Amino acid sequence: MKLKIAYSPCPNDTFVFDAWAHGRVPGAPRLDVTFADIDLTNGWAERGDAPYDVLKVSYAVLPWILDEYALLPCGGALGRGCGPLVLTREAGGPADLAGKTVAVPSERSTAYLLFRLWAADSVPGGVGEVVVLPFHEIMPAVRDGKVDAGLVIHEARFTYRNYGLHALADMGEHWEHTTGLPIPLGAIVARRSLGDDTLRLLAESARASVRMAWDDPSVSRPYVLEHAQEMDPKVADQHIGLYVNEFTADLGETGYAAVRGLLTRAAAEGLVPPLGPDALAFP
């Protein structure tokens, strides 16, 4: 029996899961892998309408799904200096976004929560319309004037200048400056119905997979580049270096503090439901 898992084709995910997906992690359950954009996986988890045992989702969606899914303490993406950016065609400041149309990758994404928290502090009167676009369509939409600004994630941090765009603000800088905590981006969750023993095995398997990738990065390289959407190999390496770190192997006390801090602040702004005291507990 294979466990059904869905994660993105982005280099950090394929790097983390390469060993496990290809059967090289001793004792790990076999995986049936589906690649999907984070907006899809967030929706699947929230609606509970897709047959996936394990999903890569945004930390922002956790308050809606933790009754059914448990947060694994490893395999996800947290970090410093890796926050989403707000991009515009012309250089400017936060006030320039007042009443303007902004494209975002998902209204259930961590990027969107960070953006809303930043805008509440920085944009007088708030932004105007928010439209959801797949993240690879956001920079062209800003460049072509279809939207006034775009909230971008992943490798766009390294490529936005190729579109002639300007970074108006860094959501991660705002988060780190105001909290001192790393930025919680993507989480790995698994169905609670699998049982505590299987959940612990999944966490051990994810942790082993990322450590195997670190031990010999060349082994995962073909898998990473195969799914990297024609990304330059140097950009793929930068992407992995930014999003795969000690928090990927183990959230630890600081990682959990960052997740709870984000969701507590977002709940205070009415953006997400409040978390219960044991909502993030792992068996």
- What mean pLDDT, rounded, does the chain reach? 94
What is residue 228's predicted lDDT score, i.e. its pLDDT? 86
pLDDT band (50, 70, 90) for residue 115: very high
Q: What CA–CA distance (Å, rounded) separates 154 from 106?
A: 13
- Residue 101 in marked binding region: no
DSSP 232-275: -HHHHHHHHHHH-SHHHH--HHHHHHHHHHHHHHHHHTTSSPPP
Report pLDDT for 205. Answer: 98
Rg (CA), the chain: 18
Q: 110: annotated binding-site residue?
A: yes
**pLDDT surpasses 80 at 66:** yes
pLDDT tens digits for range 196-240: 999 999 999 999 999 999 999 999 999 999 998 667 888 889 889
3-state SS of 164-188? CCEEEEEHHHHHHHHHCCCEEEEEE
Positive or negative: CA dihedral 215, 216, 219, 224: positive
Q: Report the amino acid identity of residue 259.
A: V
What pLDDT is stored for residue 38 in this prediction? 83
Q: pLDDT tens for residues 138-186? A: 999 999 999 999 999 877 888 899 999 999 999 999 999 999 999 998 9
Tally the residues of the chain.
283
Residues 6+ apart with CB under 8 A from 277: none
Residue 111 marked ligand-binding: yes
Question: Which residues are tagged catalytic?
Answer: 154
